[in-house]
Amino acid sequence: MNLLYRAPLLCLIFALHTIAADIPDSKDPPGMKRYEGSEIIGYRGPKFDEFLLPLAAPSQLSPPAYGKSLKVEGLVSRYTYIAPTGRSATELFRNYKLEFQRLGLTTLYEKGTADKGWFGPTLSQISDEDQIGQILAYNEAQERLLVGRSKDPKPTYYYVFVTVYKDGVIPHHLENVVQKDRAIAQLVVIAPEHMEEKMTFVNADEMSHSLADAGKVALYGIYFDTDKDGVRPDSRPTLQEIAKLMAANVQLKLHIVGHTDNQGKPDYNLDLSRRRAASVVRELTSKYGVAAARLDSFGCGLYAPVASNGSEEGRAKNRRVELVSW
């Protein structure tokens, strides 16, 4: 089914770190902590899609329908966690409620075990970015659901489904991980596109005109996860256009300049902007055939804003990569 769905600190705590048992190339949702000791057993990175958020008990299972629901679209990512042995689904769910509070999310719907309604087999092992594999059977009596949204003008939506594993055939690579009565959480995060399409994509001709007129061009189609410097795969269209620009202008040399908003410490943001700019250079030289001698990288951090950092819209404009001719 395609369901688009402080207790004592010492014993109920989330941890920021990832752990070695996570499946390869998986990561936590940006900004959201995991329950301490949990392992990622299913993951699909951000992909533009739509998702049906339940806001009331289901009225039918297939196709899914609810007494009240909200269909949203955006960059949908999925995460399936298994909690440490001996931790209950109640503990796991309570911690996600605390995480909603920490992030300042608005709760749109909450379902506990006493509430009627079965939301169906949504816990899936994700085998790659396009395919959902075998469903893990779970205890319907233990299912809990939490749906929320951020308070941004263009909100991010969160779907948290918690239950315990019951029985069924377990994928071979999870045989030593998934056991009966072990608590499991599935998260679905639906994030807005980073900027309006007209701001996100700039083609090679537009880049060339801007460089000729102003000596620089701001790009919003090169993406990084929060606090990370690796260039995300959805940056490919913009990187291709930069490579096209360089191929059409064989004398052109560019500074790749990274910029951030003002969230966090200035020294950290300065270093992050430098690392991100260097990552863009590596992508262009290693994957798109641009000669290294035609590029260099530089980071300005938060020190060259183009909009106010007082709003999320302004901060989004300040988080950019610029091409500067030299």
Which of 176, 191, 206 lies at the terminal end of a domain, its last residue? 191
3-state secondary structure of 275: helix
- Residue 83 in any domain: the answer is yes
CATH number at residue 305: 3.30.1330.60
Please report the pLDDT score of residue 62 as a whole number: 65
DSSP string, 69-101: EEEEEEEEEEEEEEPPTT--HHHHHHHHHHHHH
**Least confident residue range of 135-139, 230-234, 258-262, 314-318:** 135-139
Of 9-13, 39-43, 118-122, which range is least confident?
9-13
- The whole-number pLDDT of residue 30 equals 84
Q: Is residue 1 part of a domain?
A: no
Task: Look at residue 274 and tell me if it is in a domain.
Answer: yes
Question: In terms of domains, do 30 and 115 share one?
Answer: yes
Specify the pTM: 0.52
Among the candidates 124, 157, 191, a domain finishes at 191
**Same domain flag for 22 and 155:** yes
| List of E strands, 83-204 | 106-111, 124-126, 132-135, 144-149, 157-164, 183-191
2 domain residue, yes or no: no
Number of domains in the chain: 2
- Alpha-helical (H) ranges within 215-300 are 236-248, 266-287
Same domain, 23 and 137: yes
Domain termination residue (choose one: 164, 191, 218):
191
**Looking at the domain assignment, is residue 3 inside a domain?**
no
In this structure, are 317 and 224 located in the same domain? yes
**151 belongs to a structural domain:** yes
Give the pLDDT confidence of 251-277 residue by residue, as tens digits. Answer: 999 999 999 999 989 999 999 999 999
Domain that holds residue 174: 14-191
Is the domain of 158 the same as that of 108? yes
